[in-house]
A and B are shown apart, each in its own frame.
Chain A
């Protein structure tokens, strides 16, 4: 009998697959790969921009998932978010190994970064967590919001953000730190 799950309607299969992966199922691991590889490749590509590097990062991502599936904590969020954060972390580690950081677009801190705004469908899929985070981001001033987005989506360091905005490093650090604190305070309300 296939085991059924009645506790959540959303993301059930990925979470169940992770549980099986944690118990050593290669079959579940392959299913997980089929269902998530494109999304996670998108995450790697967003940070690294070069396909060959994103492919290498993706291999590291799945090697990590095989080892660490048991650490996923369904009480805290969705499997999709957990996997995407592993992908982003691996991609940023790889980005930092590059001798040349590559070209990065200037940031107009007054403007929004258009391609990182989720579509209405994506927002609907992500449900409450994404909506709450977005609402709290909207409460930051435009400059802090733009910096936090640029850091998150491009993986830029403080130094790179200073260059991209033409602002002093110290100001960038304090804007981002205050932004992070404010963001969390808002989410904890």
Chain B
């Protein structure tokens, strides 16, 4: 993809490929002009941005060795001002009450569910089945309980091989079991995709080997499992929610 290297090496070395350039940027050895070039490229080149992210996760654990230092008190008000949030007096108590309330969560989840259903309906009505997938496919699957109420929303990103799961908040299982997500390709045994949260959104990266199974008519199902997940990769508890993927 690198049609022109922005920084020919002056010392007889082969110019680094994109991958090493991304590594050099993350490590921090590039000069000001080179960093500006890289930042511009990050805006327009998702493949290159992905390489940078990979290096950030690779080298990131080094930051653990850095000692914290006490931040002066005047920094927080400056951050608030920078974000346009006004003076500190107006903040106290602000959204703390309503944000934490169950009502809001249920409302937000309800709206999300309604939007998802609307999106699916739109999808069915406006596109013939044979329509090719857009370059970045984001398909929402509702994982519903037996009574039809939504338990989780799963947004599939086929280009990245990820599943974003968003729960409709519910009480944790009284027996301490945890929800685990399974992918069930038509006519085959469930494949484990990882644990879910009953309270928060989680991004699940689908193992490369399973991505080809994220297809129409495959089922996403949630079972209740012992803490840590089903011990042998086979569901042991009841299925509490499920939904069929429609790409």
Residues of A within 8 A of B (CB): 1-7, 15-16, 19-20, 23, 25-28, 30, 33, 37-39, 41-43, 45-47, 51, 54-55, 58-59, 62-63, 66, 73-77, 80-82, 84-85, 88-89, 92-93, 96-97, 115-119, 122-123, 125-126, 129-130, 132-133, 148-149, 151-153, 155-159, 161, 168-170, 173-174, 176-177, 180-181, 183-184, 187
Contacts and interface: CB of A to CB of B under 8 A. Distances in A.
A71 to B, nearest CB: 9
Contact of A16 (B26, B69, B199): B199
B64 A123 contact: yes
B13 A153 contact: no
Interface of B: 9, 11-13, 16, 20, 23-24, 26-32, 35, 53, 56-72, 75-76, 78-79, 82-83, 85, 91, 94-96, 99-100, 102, 105, 108, 162, 169, 171-172, 178, 195-205, 227
A74 B24 contact: no
Nearest to A61: B79
B198 A96 contact: no
A77 B169 CA distance: 24
B91 A26 contact: yes
A30 B75 CA distance: 12
B57 A76 contact: yes
A3 B105 contact: yes
B169 A1 contact: yes
B63 A170 contact: no
The residue among A33, A148, A151, A157 with the most chain B CB atoms within 10 A of its own CB is A157
